[in-house]
Chain A
Amino acid sequence: MPTKATRRAPITPPRPLGLAPRKPDEVAALYELTDRLYRAETPSDVYSAALDAIENALSCDRASILLFDEAGVMRFVAWRGLSDAYRAAVDGHSPWKRGERPPQPIFVSDIAATDESDEIKRAILSEDIVGLAFIPLVARGGVVGKFMTYYDHAHAFTAREIELAVTIARQVGFSLERTQADQARAAAEEALRDSEERFRLMLENAPAMIWMSDTEGGCLHLNRRLREFWGVPDNGIDGASAFDWTRTIHPDDAPDLLARMGDALARRAPTQVRARYRNARGDYRVLVTDAEPRFGETGEFLGVIGVNTDVTEREEAERALRESEERFRLAVEAAPSGMVISDEEGTITLVNEQAERLFGYERHELVGASIELLVPAPSRAAHADMREGQGGERRKRIMGADRVVTARRKDGTEFPAEIGLSPILSATGRLWLAAVVDISERRRADAQRDLLLAELNHRVKNTLAVVQGIAHQTFKGGGATPAARAAFEGRLHALALAHSMLTRTNWSHAPLTQVAGDALGTAAVARHRIAISGPTLLLAPKAALGVTMALHELLTNAIKYGALSNDQGTIELKWELVEGSPARFRLEWRERGGPPVTPPARRGFGSRLITRILADDLDGDVQLGFEPDGVSCTMTAPVARLAEA
């Protein structure tokens, strides 16, 4: 729309050419029309000016203006003295098609005398119209509409009237052309402004750092993100151009960056650069800049437009990942075991030097090869099956127990290996870390130790046998009773038994059930008369020896005087754990069905041995009972003492 400042000033009327001098009112009407059309700002200004001119110049009191609409149908846009019914009846009626050229005006002095359809004639006559004229309105050489004059009587149009009508139509046509063009331009300008504003807002608020430079690299524009980054005030281009961005570049990066940017400007070529810049808070951030040259409508170089991306965190994360990977690699390398990492397909991805040495392969021979290369041929299929079975399980699996397997070296020889297998969940999927230890040496050492232990046991037993032999000879001459000799042999035998059992467990712990079974097993004939029951309880060697000796004494006494001295007596041996602090263990020996018991007159070696062993060695509390119905022995001791070596 033209602004107030550009409103056109009135002009003097042009002198019409090639026409006889007009009557003053006609001239005045044409002059006024020209002036009003010149000032018209909207189509309705044009229409009312035209209608005024038509009425004044052509001496009619009814007139109308019609234009083709977008669909090409002639529609009323302005009128005087016409009924709604009439306009509706003749709406869309046109003697010409849109754009037709050159259209000729039609002057009808009496509608009744024309070839028009009866329908049209009826509509016209009912509006009390007899004479009328169709004057085409032309813009850009083609018909765009018409204006009409109406008379309630037959009207013969004079040459002068026709000339005036055509003159008015031409003026109106020009004016319509101009206002339509003005409107179109205004609409286009507004659309462009809207588009530019949207684009500007988008640029300003984009979640990226966007800038524009002049041909020398000086700042023309920084968007909000970038202004915030550098702390540049929000006062637009002036603020930006006063800002020297090059001063924020890290001194170490500046020479290279400026050279590259200078080169891109000189070559007017796209470029990508990376550098550290100091932000408003004084921190250095790593920005990657993608820049493109800018060119004007006529192709002149205007400068550069660029986007900066802050990659500080990304680079930090990448560096941390690299360091983490490097640490992991170093840890694997430094591990004392052979380390072999394989992926879910069983392909080896990493090995350490120990693994190279262990298997006799070079690193490059292992990485990329199948893990089954290290498995002896007969076990390969089973290994692959097991591996795939594990891969199928998505949940994490901690392989607690190490497995002993046979591994194969490059030269085909094999060695026993202990393998600790751990899953590693990495970004690329699950990996398996196998820590491989050659246990040949350990196996040899174990065998050696077992041999020594067996030999030691043999010698101890032999020594006990020698002691037995000496005692045998000694007692024989010294007049000891056969009972005394038997008691001695029995005790020596119990000691040897406990010793034997502890050898079987490599002198670690022995279960009480087994200790009791061995100690009471000598009474083979009475086995079904002895009931042993109690929870699993492990005894340390010293406790096992003590319990064995004590049970032997009780058993010997039972055979000689107690429940096993007749045919019906029974022995019940049971133990239980008693909750408490400290937790205690309670063992009970109970004889029943033997001959009536009489308490011994004096305390024998047997009961002394029982009390000493159980009370002193095991910190226990011992009760020996000599009730008439059978001997009983109850002992309680802290559980912890039993397991102490």
Chain B
Amino acid sequence: METPDMDPLDGKRILVVEDEAVIAAMIEDMLEDLGAVVVGPVNTVARGLALAGDAAIDAAVLDVNLRGERVDPVARLLARRGVPVVIASGYGESGEFEHDGAVLTKPFTLADLGRVLESALRDAGDQSGGRLVTQT
């Protein structure tokens, strides 16, 4: 059993890729309210890739469409690193995006963001925990 964490997002580094400035600012604000550290926000796929490659990141919140470009390469790169990804999309569940992880339908509340991110981090933690067990 894990020790219950009262504030599981405290100090977590969250990458934000979002090209709509007002929304990016809001997410940034919400994450800070949740105690997380924002990486970015960046507003293009290229900048997202630059950070996703080597920055210290615990999780990411990605918009699907960035000035007409799809965010898929960033998501794939993060997935390879084992970083949990939350997709924030106006398309919702019926969207075109193929994604195994968590989805947030825009607009979302502070509570929605917190719940989905916590859940994504917990799932990722379970998986790495499993790996550790098999290695022992």
Is this pair of chains taken from one and the same complex? yes
- Taking Cβ atoms with an 8 Å cutoff, the residues of A that contact B are 454, 457-462, 464-470, 472-473, 476, 486, 489-490, 492-493, 496-497, 500, 503-504
Contact B109 A493 (CB under 8 A): yes
Shortest distance in angstroms between A274's beta carbon and chain B's nearest beta carbon?
A: 75
* Interface status of B4 (Cβ within 8 A of chain A): no
Contact B109 A462 (CB under 8 A): no
* Interface status of B126 (Cβ within 8 A of chain A): no
In the complex, the chain B residue whose C-beta lies closest to that of A461 is B90
Q: Assuming A470-B22, A472-B26, A476-B29, is B108 touching A454 (CB within 8 A)? A: no
Shortest distance in angstroms between B80's beta carbon and chain A's nearest beta carbon?
A: 27
Contact B96 A454 (CB under 8 A): yes
Contact A466 B22 (CB under 8 A): yes
Contact A466 B20 (CB under 8 A): yes
Q: Please measure, in the bound complex, the distance between the C-alpha atom of A372 and the C-alpha atom of B70, giving whole angstroms.
A: 46
Q: Please measure, in the bound complex, the distance between the C-alpha atom of A486 and the C-alpha atom of B106, giving whole angstroms.
A: 15
Contact B23 A466 (CB under 8 A): yes
Shortest distance in angstroms between B61's beta carbon and chain A's nearest beta carbon?
A: 12
Shortest distance in angstroms between B91's beta carbon and chain A's nearest beta carbon?
A: 5
Contact B91 A465 (CB under 8 A): no
Contact B94 A493 (CB under 8 A): no
In the complex, the chain A residue whose C-beta lies closest to that of B106 is A465
Contact B29 A496 (CB under 8 A): no
Cβ-Cβ contact count across A and B, 8 Å cutoff: 76
Q: Please measure, in the bound complex, the distance between the C-alpha atom of A470 and the C-alpha atom of B109, giving whole angstroms.
A: 14
Give 24 pairs: A residue, B residue, CB < 8 Å, sorted on A. A460-B90, A461-B107, A462-B106, A465-B20, A465-B106, A465-B108, A466-B22, A468-B26, A469-B20, A472-B26, A472-B29, A473-B25, A473-B26, A473-B29, A489-B107, A489-B109, A489-B110, A493-B109, A493-B112, A496-B105, A496-B107, A497-B105, A500-B105, A504-B94
Contact B109 A490 (CB under 8 A): yes
Q: Which residues of A contact B105 (CB under 8 A)?
A: 461, 496-497, 500
Given contacts A469-B22, A472-B30, 7 further A-B contacts (CB under 8 A): A457-B90, A458-B65, A458-B89, A461-B106, A472-B26, A472-B29, A500-B105
* Interface status of B92 (Cβ within 8 A of chain A): yes
Contact A493 B108 (CB under 8 A): yes
4 nearest interchain CB pairs?
Answer: A461-B90, A469-B22, A469-B26, A458-B90
Contact A457 B91 (CB under 8 A): yes
Q: In the complex, which residues 20-67 of chain B have their Cβ closer than 8 Å to any Cβ of chain A? A: 20, 22-23, 25-26, 29-30, 65
Contact B107 A465 (CB under 8 A): yes
Q: Please measure, in the bound complex, the distance between the C-alpha atom of A350 and the C-alpha atom of B117, giving whole angstroms.
A: 66
Contact B29 A459 (CB under 8 A): no
Q: In the complex, which residues 76-107 of chain B have their Cβ closer than 8 Å to any Cβ of chain A? A: 89-92, 94-96, 105-107
Shortest distance in angstroms between B107's beta carbon and chain A's nearest beta carbon?
A: 4
Contact A454 B91 (CB under 8 A): yes
Q: Please measure, in the bound complex, the distance between the C-alpha atom of A454 and the C-alpha atom of B108, giving whole angstroms.
A: 18
Q: Please measure, in the bound complex, the distance between the C-alpha atom of A334 and the C-alpha atom of B10, giving whole angstroms.
A: 75
Q: Please measure, in the bound complex, the distance between the C-alpha atom of A465 and the C-alpha atom of B107, giving whole angstroms.
A: 4
Shortest distance in angstroms between B90's beta carbon and chain A's nearest beta carbon?
A: 3
Contact A454 B107 (CB under 8 A): no
Contact B92 A469 (CB under 8 A): no
Q: Which residues of A contact B96 (CB under 8 A)?
A: 454
**Residue in B20, B26, B94 whose CB lies within 8 Å of A462:** B20
Q: Please measure, in the bound complex, the distance between the C-alpha atom of A476 and the C-alpha atom of B25, giving whole angstroms.
A: 12
Contact B106 A454 (CB under 8 A): no
Shortest distance in angstroms between B14's beta carbon and chain A's nearest beta carbon?
A: 17
Q: Assuming A454-B95, A486-B109, is B90 touching A459 (CB within 8 A)? A: yes
**Residue in A459, A464, A473 whose CB lies within 8 Å of B107:** A464
Contact A492 B94 (CB under 8 A): no
Q: Which residues of B contact A457 (CB under 8 A)?
A: 90-92
Q: Please measure, in the bound complex, the distance between the C-alpha atom of A493 and the C-alpha atom of B29, giving whole angstroms.
A: 18
Contact B90 A462 (CB under 8 A): yes
Tell me which of B26, B90, B108 has the highest count of chain A C-beta atoms within 10 A of its own C-beta.
B90
Q: Which residues of B contact A476 (CB under 8 A)?
A: 29
Q: Which residues of A contact B25 (CB under 8 A)?
A: 469, 472-473
Tell me which of A454, A469, A493 has the highest count of chain B C-beta atoms within 10 A of its own C-beta.
A469
**Residue in B29, B92, B110 whose CB lies within 8 Å of A500:** B92
Q: Please measure, in the bound complex, the distance between the C-alpha atom of A486 and the C-alpha atom of B111, giving whole angstroms.
A: 9
Shortest distance in angstroms between B110's beta carbon and chain A's nearest beta carbon?
A: 7
Shortest distance in angstroms between A78's beta carbon and chain B's nearest beta carbon?
A: 127
Shortest distance in angstroms between A25's beta carbon and chain B's nearest beta carbon?
A: 147
Q: Which residues of A contact B22 (CB under 8 A)?
A: 466, 469-470, 473
Q: Please measure, in the bound complex, the distance between the C-alpha atom of A532 and the C-alpha atom of B107, giving whole angstroms.
A: 26
Contact B26 A503 (CB under 8 A): no
Q: Which residues of A contact B20 (CB under 8 A)?
A: 462, 465-466, 469
Shortest distance in angstroms between B36's beta carbon and chain A's nearest beta carbon?
A: 16
Q: Which residues of A contact B95 (CB under 8 A)?
A: 454, 458
Q: Please measure, in the bound complex, the distance between the C-alpha atom of A608 and the C-alpha atom of B89, giving whole angstroms.
A: 32
Q: Please measure, in the bound complex, the distance between the C-alpha atom of A489 and the C-alpha atom of B113, giving whole angstroms.
A: 12
In the complex, the chain B residue whose C-beta lies closest to that of A464 is B107
Shortest distance in angstroms between A382's beta carbon and chain B's nearest beta carbon?
A: 33
Q: Which residues of A contact B91 (CB under 8 A)?
A: 454, 457-458, 461
Contact A461 B110 (CB under 8 A): no
Q: Assuming A468-B26, A473-B22, A473-B25, is B107 touching A493 (CB within 8 A)? A: yes
In the complex, the chain A residue whose C-beta lies closest to that of B89 is A458
Q: Please measure, in the bound complex, the distance between the C-alpha atom of A31 and the C-alpha atom of B90, giving whole angstroms.
A: 148
Contact A464 B26 (CB under 8 A): no
Shortest distance in angstroms between B42's beta carbon and chain A's nearest beta carbon?
A: 17
Q: Which residues of A contact B29 (CB under 8 A)?
A: 472-473, 476
Q: Which residues of A contact B23 (CB under 8 A)?
A: 462, 465-466, 468-469
Q: Please measure, in the bound complex, the distance between the C-alpha atom of A462 and the C-alpha atom of B89, giving whole angstroms.
A: 8
Q: Please measure, in the bound complex, the distance between the C-alpha atom of A472 and the C-alpha atom of B89, giving whole angstroms.
A: 19
Q: Please measure, in the bound complex, the distance between the C-alpha atom of A466 and the C-alpha atom of B89, giving whole angstroms.
A: 12
